[in-house]
A and B are shown apart, each in its own frame.
Chain A
Amino acid sequence: GQNIDQPTEMTATEGAIVQINCTYQTSGFNGLFWYQQHAGEAPTFLSYNVLDGLEEKGRFSSFLSRSKGYSYLLLKELQMKDSASYLCAVRWWNGQNFVFGPGTRLSVLP
C-alpha cells in the first residue's frame, strides 16, 4: 500500500522548536510535499523535497531520508499563528498526483 504515517496531534510552547515526523513506503518514491492547513482554510504549500537532506525556508525546515522513508518538518521560534494541521504528501513512481497523509494537528500554547 501507500501508507503515510504522521502523529495525530502535538503540542508545543510559543518560542520553542517542534519536529513533525512523516514516514512512508519507500518503493517508487518520487517526491514529498509539506503543507500547512489552518482550520477552515485551504492547505498552503510549505516545502518540497526529492533529494536527501535539509531544505531551509526561514523558520521552517524540511528534511528527507529516502532510504529510511522518513521526513520531518522543523518549526523554530514557534508563534501562536503556527497552530494548524501539517500535512505530508508523497508521490510514487511517475504519476503527477501526491497522496496526502492524515496530518498532524499542532497546538502552540502561550
Chain B
Amino acid sequence: DAGVIQSPRHEVTEMGQEVTLRCKPISGHDYLFWYRQTMMRGLELLIYFNNNVPIDDSGMPEDRFSAKMPNASFSTLKIQPSEPRDSAVYFCASSPQGTDVYGYTFGSGTRLTVV
C-alpha cells in the first residue's frame, strides 16, 4: 500500500491566489481528515469526511477554505483567496471504519507558503 498520498509537497504562492491541495487516502479507509500544523497552534483539525460525506467542518477557519471529497479515493482542500497567515503544513490523514487500534495514517503533508 502506498499510504496516504498528498500533492504538492511544497507550494509557494502569492497572496490572493487560489491554492488547491490534494489527497488520496488509503484504499478501504472510510474516514479522511484534513489537518493544519503551525508552530503557534500545533496540529488542528480542519474538516473530516466519512464515506465521502463531510461530518464536521467546524475547524475550517473561514469561508476562504473549502474541502470536497467527490469519491472515495480523492479529496481537495481549496483556499481562495490565500493570505500569508494561511502559511502552514497541511496534512491529510485517513483511517478505517470502526477501529482505532491502528490510529490515523498521515500523508507527508503539503508545506504552503503564501507571500
Interface residues, chain A, with chain B CB atoms under 8 Å away:
31, 33, 35, 41-46, 48, 50, 87, 91, 95-103
User: B108 touching A42 by the CB < 8 A rule?
Assistant: yes
Q: Which of B20-28, B69-77, B80-88, B98-106 contacts A (4 or more CB under 8 A)?
A: B98-106
Residues of A within 8 A of B101 (CB): 48
Closest to B49 in A: A96
Contact of A42 among B33, B44, B48, B91 (CB under 8 A): B91
The answer to whether B12 has its CB under 8 Å from any CB of chain A is no
CB distance from A28 to the nearest CB of B (A): 15
Interface residues, chain B, with chain A CB atoms under 8 Å away:
31, 33, 35, 42-45, 48, 50, 55-56, 91, 100-109
Main secondary structure of the interface of B (DSSP, over half): strand
User: B100 touching A48 by the CB < 8 A rule?
Assistant: yes
Contact of B103 among A45, A97, A99 (CB under 8 A): A45
Closest to A35 in B: B103
User: A45 touching B48 by the CB < 8 A rule?
Assistant: no
Closest to A45 in B: B103
Interchain CA distance A92-B107 in the complex, whole Å: 24
Residues of B within 8 A of A103 (CB): 42-43
CB distance from B30 to the nearest CB of A (A): 10
CB distance from B42 to the nearest CB of A (A): 5
Closest to A89 in B: B43
User: B102 touching A96 by the CB < 8 A rule?
Assistant: no
Interchain CA distance A57-B50 in the complex, whole Å: 30
User: A33 touching B103 by the CB < 8 A rule?
Assistant: yes
User: B42 touching A33 by the CB < 8 A rule?
Assistant: no
Known: A43-B106, A96-B55, A97-B48. A31 touches B100 (CB 8 A): yes
Closest to A46 in B: B103
